[in-house]
Amino acid sequence: MAMRLSRCHNIADLRRMAKRRLPAPMFHYIDGGSDDEWSLRRNTTAFDDYELMPNYLRDISTVDLGTTLLGQKLAWPVFLSPTGMSRLFHHQAEPAVARAAQKFGTFYTLSTMGTTRIEEIAAQGTGRWMFQIYILKDRALTAEFVERCKAAKYQALCLTVDTALAGNRERDRVTGMVMPPRFTLKSFASFAAHPRWAFHLLMNPDCQLANVAHRVGGLSQSTVSLIDYVNGQFDRTVTWDDVAWLVEQWGGPFVLKGIQSPGDAKRAAEVGATAVMISNHGGRQLDAAPAPVDCIAPIRDVVGDQLELIVDGGVRRGTHVIKALALGANACSIGRPYLYGLAAAGQPGVEHALGLLRAELERSMALLGCRTIAELGPGHVRRVRG
């Protein structure tokens, strides 16, 4: 029997629905990590090392989830992190995710590796837009991105720093994940078992990286592995001096994504960053890197109020968000949860994912005895393991 959104009661249910809807290579590209996938698993299980301490007999007749991040008022302290090539998972692609984020009053972050142009996301409405950027070997292309984001009135820029080269994503090699998707003897059975997905791919086969194709050549010219392609674009010579240059070029709210150590967070503040996304790239880069939730308190102790802290990785429940905020984070960002929703049902699936998390957050805030995000603090969380 076909699974429906109405039967998806949590993010895990959406994951199962996405697995049914996608060919194996596409699903495992979302779902997989690097090496033994220890960090991938740890990102979520680390939240189990913390318990919440409620306070009762408080007036919780109203709960306000609103907050301010990167100079923007958000309806709740969760936003959508950058994920590459959303067109692979549903034909509505990045615009569907952007519209859902706008509806829920939060940031959508477009990836450099997205299949939608910077300007097309801006055209979706008056949302809160962030662009995720790399300092590429072609510095002129990096500078072009900055100017295009300024012209399109993006509110923030996010530099990913943990991808000097791609992690060892063995699942992609096992499943034969290539760009663009093509029908081969190896992939035919999986594609044939998912006719709806295959039909939309045949009707609209353009899976190019929309913001870089004009400079590096369209991927449609040849079939290469994702890992080989990504490795060819990243620059191993990037240093803090390059980050300072990009901060100056942008001149607005600036996020460093991939920071995990207090020392790097301190350097981020020194070069002018507004915030850091505490992230190990969803467990897709260095395996055995720490879970983001475990990095919050040590980083906050070092940077104080100099930086906004965003936890990126492992969030699957509203209580996860509460634990992160109580430990000192300003917000959380999610990737896989909304991709599961996108793969399951397009924009309605993304909205369902966001609705589930927001409802969980609001309910758990009330059960904790907190009426506003500002009321959350260290007294609401306690480490019980580790």
CB distance 13 to 254 below 8 Å:
no
* Residue 90 annotated to the active site: no
Which of 364, 340, 359, 360 lies closest to 350, judged by CA? 340
Q: How far is residue 94's CA from residue 278's CA, in Å, rounded to a whole number?
A: 23
Token pair 């076909």 is found at 2
| Cβ neighbours around 377 below 10 Å, total | 12
Q: Which of 90, 281, 352, 380 is catalytic?
A: 281
Residue 198 Cα to chain centre, angstroms: 26
CA distances 172 to 93, 118, 161, 169, 231, Å, are: 20, 27, 22, 6, 14
Closest to 335 in 3D by CA, of 45, 116, 43, 34:
43
- What gap in Å lies between CA 164 and CA 233, rounded to an integer? 9
Q: What is the C-alpha separation between 212 and 299, in angstroms, rounded?
A: 34
Decide the pairing of beta strands 67-69 and 72-74: antiparallel
Q: Per the structure block, which two tokens stand in for 197?
A: 């997905």
Phi-psi category of 362—alpha, beta or left, where left has phi over 0 and alpha has psi -120 to 50?
alpha
3 state DSSP class of 291:
coil
Work out the burial of residue 74: count CB atoms within 10 Å of its CB; fewer than 13 is exposed, 13-18 middle, 19 or more buried. Answer: buried
- The set of catalytic residues is 281
